[in-house]
Copies of this chain bind each other. A is one copy, B any other.
């Protein structure tokens, strides 16, 4: 195993100094064309590969950003990660991935780990457990860009990229009303994450605007899994005042709701069902699931763009932007009462 070639080897080869080589390689400093070319030729000949670590240690820039998400296994987050990585790649940034698995402790550890790795910035979507966000303070203190997406927190004064979740909730509800449903229930999560609250607010507002009563018994707080969906639907359909439509916390919840409804012979659209996320499967289940598309790829692209803007500013927080994406309604069979 021979040692790797460094700029010293190139310098020796050409009888110049390392500074000359460094300058030539960096491309910006004043250098004669002749030396530059000679350096590049020698670099190639010696199979030189820069050590970004050394450069990072000296310059303080690693060109690595840390990305904290609950789990890459959720398609929504996978899509965001995909777009973030793609959006940053051309600018030379790489991405370290850290999954919190919806655990606050893991998230705290993630921030610590990423900071120790000297990342140039962090993007995160909070775990369901996260209520206190003080573990992110250090990122801001170090004046490194922190961007929160989707699951954000008002205590953190940082740029955010979110969906207009109020609108999403309103949109889902209004759609059901437009389709002719009148007694609309909601299966959501107990966790105090803003997006879920906002959706609920949108739901209530839409009911109010249409002069429909808000029945608290129609709102089930539990989890968002398929199982939770089944459970919620079961509970709702056993009530005296049965709903004629159910909004599910996400598409997986909706899957559970539909399963239950099929079992008791209330197959949608007889009882309307709508979800959130537009998962890959949603178009292919029976009945096809109406849903609210949350545009994860747009979200990732926006995060990448925001980050690149922030690193260009001396103070990344001098101009805190909050990007809010518009949800869109995907109408399918599960809410198509009319046909």
Give every chain B residue within 8 A of A279 (Cβ-Cβ). Answer: 280-281
Give every chain B residue within 8 A of A96 (Cβ-Cβ). Answer: 64, 94-97
Give every chain B residue within 8 A of A1 (Cβ-Cβ). Answer: 142-143
Q: Which of B50, B113, B280 contacts A281 (CB 8 A)?
A: B280
- The reply on A158 being an interface residue by CB < 8 A is no
Give every chain B residue within 8 A of A78 (Cβ-Cβ). Answer: 72-73, 75, 78
Q: Which of B64, B75, B98 contacts A85 (CB 8 A)?
A: B98
Within 8 A of B (CB), among A60-78: 62, 64, 71-73, 75, 78
Say how many copies of this protein the assembly contains.
2
Give every chain B residue within 8 A of A52 (Cβ-Cβ). Answer: 116-118
Nearest-Cβ distance from residue A82 to partner chain B, whole angstroms: 5
- The reply on A57 being an interface residue by CB < 8 A is yes
Q: Which of B4, B53, B101 contacts A56 (CB 8 A)?
A: B53
The chain B residue with its CB closest to the CB of A109 is B89
Give every chain B residue within 8 A of A105 (Cβ-Cβ). Answer: none
Q: Which of B82, B99, B255, B286 contacts A82 (CB 8 A)?
A: B99
Interface residues on A, range: 35 or more
What is the bound-complex CA distance between A138 and B49, given in angstroms? Answer: 11
- The reply on A14 being an interface residue by CB < 8 A is no
Nearest-Cβ distance from residue A116 to partner chain B, whole angstroms: 5
Within 8 A of B (CB), among A92-137: 94-99, 101, 112-118
- The reply on A86 being an interface residue by CB < 8 A is yes
Q: Which of B56, B62, B73, B95 contacts A79 (CB 8 A)?
A: B73
What is the bound-complex CA distance between A175 and B99, given in angstroms? Answer: 38
- The reply on A28 being an interface residue by CB < 8 A is no
- Known: A94-B113, A281-B284; 11 extra A-B contacts, CB below 8 A, are A49-B116, A51-B116, A53-B62, A78-B78, A82-B99, A86-B99, A94-B98, A97-B97, A281-B282, A284-B284, A284-B285
